[in-house]
Each structure stands twice: as structure tokens, then as C-alpha cells.
């Protein structure tokens, strides 16, 4: 398992090896020990799986506030996404900045997003399936959102805003300057 820091070091890109032969392959896609060896001491409690039918589907930017805040370990099992994590830790030198990465089934890569970040992604291919582990259970009372295309974030999303497919809820999230529930 190869684990690399990004421009915001707490967000990590992970690539796991595939061991193949004529039957197919085997890959250890999660190892608590490997994460611990790289300073990621997180216990995951829930796995989530999404399917986005159309390319250009945007999900996010979502987060949960304490005491139900979540770290995420995300991988794509079919298709490709443009993944984004925005730092919402008020005392962080990278507050308001983001990391963006292409995560795909073909590249067999993953992304780790720690507590304190808003997270979202855009599908780059149709019929994209994403699977992610979270460190705390889903709690509607603690769920929050950040406007995906807030100009202050300067995220270079692949679709134009008029072409993006979003839920009504995701279109209505607040801008960073209006958020009150931060970390």
C-alpha cells in the first residue's frame, strides 16, 4: 500500500497493489495496520456505496459536525470521479483551501479525507460507483453542506455549472463566508 500526502498533508492519496494471474486479481484495499504506520489512526464504522448514472453528477460538498464528524476513505469501483476535499478547520493554515484528485477504478487509487473537511465529487464517466468508509455514523442532525461552486473556493470543477447534475439540497448549500458550523 502506497500512501502519499497531498498539498494539504492530512489528505492522503492511497494506491494498493493488485496481485493477478490467469484467474483475475486480489488486492488488499484496506489495512488498518498500513494506515496506522502512516499516522492515520481511524476506526471506520460504516461503509457507503453510491451509483451515479450520468457523467457530470456532483455530490457535495458535505460534512458532519461534532460529535458526529466523519473521516472518509473513498475508492471508485466503477468509473472515474473528480474528488474534492475543502479544509474547514478554522485554525489550519490551509483553511478554505482544497485538494482535488482524479480517483478511478482503472487507477485503483483511493483518497483519505480526515475530520474537518467538506467533501464532494463529480462523476467523469457514466454509471460510476463509489464506495467509502466513514469513521462515524450518518446523523441528519449533524449534516452540513458547503456550496460546491462557491467562487471563493476556486475549484476547477469539470462540468460548467449549467451542465452539472445536482440535488436541490446541494444547490442550496451556503458559501464558505456564511458557514457557522466549522471545525
119 catalytic per annotation? no
Rg (CA), the chain: 16
- What count of other Cβ atoms lies within 10 Å of the Cβ of residue 48? 12
In 3D space, the residue among 74, 97, 164, 166 whose CA is nearest the CA of residue 124 turns out to be 164
Residue tagged active-site, from 62, 98, 119, 173: 62
Burial (0-12, 13-18, 19+ Cβ within 10 Å), 87: buried
132 catalytic per annotation? yes
Residue tagged active-site, from 63, 98, 119, 132: 132
- Pull the grid cell for residue 21: 494471474
Give me the active site residues, please.
62, 132
Amino acid at each position: 500500500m502506497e500512501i502519499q500526502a497531498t498539498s494539504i498533508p492530512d489528505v492522503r492519496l492511497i494506491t494498493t497493489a493488485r496481485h493477478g494471474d490467469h484467474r483475475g486479481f486480489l488486492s488488499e484495499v484496506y489495512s488498518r495496520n498500513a494506515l496506522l504506520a502512516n499516522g492515520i489512526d481511524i476506526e471506520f464504522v460504516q461503509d457507503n456505496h453510491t451509483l451515479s448514472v450520468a457523467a457530470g453528477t456532483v455530490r457535495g460538498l458535505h460534512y458532519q459536525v461534532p460529535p458526529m464528524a466523519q473521516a472518509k476513505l473513498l475508492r471508485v469501483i466503477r468509473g472515474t470521479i473528480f474528488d474534492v476535499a475543502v479544509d474547514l478547520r478554522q485554525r489550519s493554515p490551509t483553511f478554505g483551501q482544497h485538494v482535488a484528485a482524479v480517483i478511478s477504478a482503472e487507477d485503483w487509487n483511493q483518497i483519505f479525507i480526515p475530520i474537518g473537511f467538506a467533501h464532494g465529487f463529480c462523476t467523469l464517466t457514466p454509471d460510476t460507483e463509489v464506495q467509502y468508509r466513514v469513521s462515524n455514523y450518518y446523523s441528519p442532525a449533524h449534516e452540513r453542506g458547503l456550496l460546491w461552486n462557491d467562487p471563493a473556493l476556486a475549484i476547477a470543477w469539470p462540468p460548467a455549472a449549467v451542465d452539472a447534475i445536482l440535488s436541490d439540497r446541494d444547490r442550496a448549500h451556503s458559501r464558505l463566508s456564511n458557514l457557522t458550523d466549522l471545525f
